[in-house]
Structure 1
């Protein structure tokens, strides 16, 4: 069977992931993501009302015109999880393909929300829910399988396309978490089984490939957060926290610990309200009796009430962990909200900076503004959702793929992965394929 892999997006940067695998006459698309940094540099951009071609020209979504060079029919669009760099382009591109969107329950809920907000295109693709551990036929000879992985969002999977030539594993994004706060551990037993059955090609996320060691479990981040927050139990001023709105396990910990120290948690920001509401719809184990406000007028009203009743009684959990210009924490730093920071007030960043210059600059600006108002910054109360070098070593040891395509980084960021793979005897240009957006790699010729 002839097999080709189109590296559509996410092979020169962190963001706008999209990969297509053609096995014979059948094509499966993995991810359709957004490069958020290309949007954030424009203050007034509203992607919901923009045309896909304009967003492609901005570098915000994948340029899927290379798909016309694949001689096959798209049978499925498979997002690996619900982060915007993996689903954010679905409202702009999915309607071009007569294929269902197949994902885990939480991912499909988030895709549904994205489609509902779309103002330019009518997206009518069928939404199909499939759980980790399940399989589905793709055409007469291939099978799609979801293998459970752990990441900084619930319901993440690595999809596997089983072909007559061997398995193709799309390995974005995951970490080796054996003690997650929500959900099951990474299914290494199944990965080892697939490795014994035969892996033709492994496409891997290289975000942290240049970092030594292994990244800790979310349980470690939870304990770090508990330690920081319990140390503030007797503080009688304002405490504000921010994290990834999609990080349901981290939001759960923030809510629980804020109550432990005698403060009322309040979720403030449209994305926090959206992700938490979606999590509740799929019965994720987070508190449902939480006060939430998603729109500016409602947020400002809640902040006014917090100031009137006493900052010491509340624990606002807000958007703005990357220093986004229009996010609530950034507006607090600019003094544009009813919430006022006093000398000594605490701001907790339970999030790392996404390794991209726009995010790094925005985060620096946000922290500087907050400190100018007297805030004390607690940074990096977080663990990454991406494998470091020893995690990559374990995956290669388990899978022993014939060929490897590193992704989710620029060329500099791939160097550590190439070195790790080299310790197994893989060679660049022979069985390690570094590539760029818009390329097609022939894995098996007829």
Structure 2
């Protein structure tokens, strides 16, 4: 059976992920993501009303026109998890393919939200829920799609595996090796080892290289939880304002913030549209998340909440707000610019339970936000966080478990690939033979 892999997006940057695998006449697409930084550098762009070709020209979504060079039928569109760099282009591109979107329940709910907001294109693709550990048949030629449970900075993340007669294609974006997660099951290393040793083994492994230049291993989310607990407990006797921010999609981290706020005697309140969206979706699909935490996503309700906080006393509350990357229109950035009713005083605490995404736009915006907060007298606690991506020892363990015949680094630029290339080379892989550093828009034939 002929096997081709089209590396469509995410092979020259962090963002706009999209990969297609053709096995015989059947094609499976993994991810359709957005490069948010390409949008944020423009003022007040509303992508919902934009044409896909304009977004492709901006470098904001994958250029999927290379799909016309694959001779087959798309059978499924499979997002690995609910981050926008993996689902943010589904509303713009999925209508071109007569294929269902197959994802875990939480991811699928987030996809629904994306397509409901879409103003330019209609969306008629079927939506199919599939849980980690389940499989489904693809086409009529012996292909099978399997979801393997992984742990990441968002719940219900999976690594999809396409089983073919020539061996398995393992799409390894995005994960960390967490054996003690705060929400959900640990990463299923047992299943990865089985896949590496059954049948014809693993034909190809496509790997997220976000942290491939960092030595050691990525700590568990429980490490971040204890770091956060220690940070907030150190503020237990402070009577002024405490504000926290994290990734809105990081349900486990938001849950920890809610719990620790209550333990130090403050009422947690979630503020910002994305905070309301992700936490509300988690409650909707039955994820273990507090059901009684107030959350407000719209400007009027947020302004009224800030008025209440100032009237009742900042020391009674802990707002958890959007803006961990210093996004210009996010809640924390507006607070830093003095554009809300929440007044920051000398000594007030601002906890960033998130690191800067390593991209120039984000780094500049985050720097500016922290400086503005400092100018108002706030004490900034930065990077109370652990990454959602594998460092080098995790990559070594995955190669050892899967023993793939071919390896394709993804989710980075050439500089970001370098650490992975060195590590894979040390394990016997060679560039141009079975280690393939590629770019967006390429098609490689493996069989």
Q: Which residue of structure 2 aligns with residue 184 of structure 1?
A: 185
> CA offsets, 1:357-388, max 9 Å, x none?
10000100100110000000001100000000
Tell me the matched-pair count: 444
Partners of 1:235 and 1:43 lie apart in 2 by 38
Matched, 1:267 2:260: no
The answer to whether the 8 Å contact 1:182/1:285 transfers is yes
Q: Which residue of structure 2 aligns with residue 4 of structure 1?
A: 4
Matched, 1:355 2:358: yes
Partners of 1:139 and 1:149 lie apart in 2 by 26
Unpaired runs of at least 5, structure 1: none
Q: Which residue of structure 2 aligns with residue 294 of structure 1?
A: 297
Q: Quote the offset at 1:348 in angstroms.
A: 0.3
Matched, 1:406 2:409: yes
Q: Quote the offset at 1:120 in angstroms.
A: 1.1
> CA offsets, 1:180-201, max 9 Å, x none?
0000000000000000020000
**1:358-377 to 2 correspondence within 5 Å?**
358-377=361-380
> CA offsets, 1:278-314, max 9 Å, x none?
1011111110111111011111111111111100000
Q: Which residue of structure 2 aligns with residue 71 of structure 1?
A: 71
Partners of 2:294 and 2:285 lie apart in 1 by 19
Matched, 1:94 2:94: yes
Q: Which residue of structure 1 aligns with residue 176 of structure 2?
A: 175
State TM-score, norm by structure 2: 0.99
User: SS of the counterpart of 1:387?
Assistant: coil
Q: Which residue of structure 1 aligns with residue 202 of structure 2?
A: 199
Q: Quote the offset at 1:391 in angstroms.
A: 0.2
The answer to whether the 8 Å contact 1:242/1:320 transfers is yes
> CA offsets, 1:239-270, max 9 Å, x none?
00000000000000000000000000000000
**Alignment counterpart, residue 444 of structure 2, candidates 424, 441, 446:** 441
> CA offsets, 1:378-424, max 9 Å, x none?
01100000000000000000000000000000001001001111111
Partners of 1:62 and 1:261 lie apart in 2 by 45
Partners of 2:273 and 2:315 lie apart in 1 by 24
Q: Quote the offset at 1:427 in angstroms.
A: 0.4
**Alignment counterpart, residue 246 of structure 1, candidates 249, 257, 270:** 249
**Alignment counterpart, residue 233 of structure 2, candidates 223, 230, 234:** 230
Q: Which residue of structure 2 aligns with residue 146 of structure 1?
A: 147
Partners of 2:72 and 2:36 lie apart in 1 by 30
Q: Quote the offset at 1:130 in angstroms.
A: 0.2
The answer to whether the 8 Å contact 1:43/1:325 transfers is no
Matched, 1:280 2:272: no
Q: Which residue of structure 2 aligns with residue 390 of structure 1?
A: 393
Partners of 1:107 and 1:87 lie apart in 2 by 9
Q: Quote the offset at 1:136 in angstroms.
A: 0.3
Partners of 2:98 and 2:374 lie apart in 1 by 51
Q: Which residue of structure 1 aligns with residue 44 of structure 2?
A: 44
Q: Quote the offset at 1:55 in angstroms.
A: 0.6
Q: Quote the offset at 1:119 in angstroms.
A: 1.1
Q: Quote the offset at 1:56 in angstroms.
A: 0.5
**Alignment counterpart, residue 308 of structure 1, candidates 307, 311, 326:** 311
Runs of 4+ with deviation above 4 angstroms: none
Partners of 1:28 and 1:293 lie apart in 2 by 38
Partners of 1:309 and 1:51 lie apart in 2 by 47
User: SS of the counterpart of 2:300?
Assistant: helix
Partners of 2:327 and 2:204 lie apart in 1 by 37
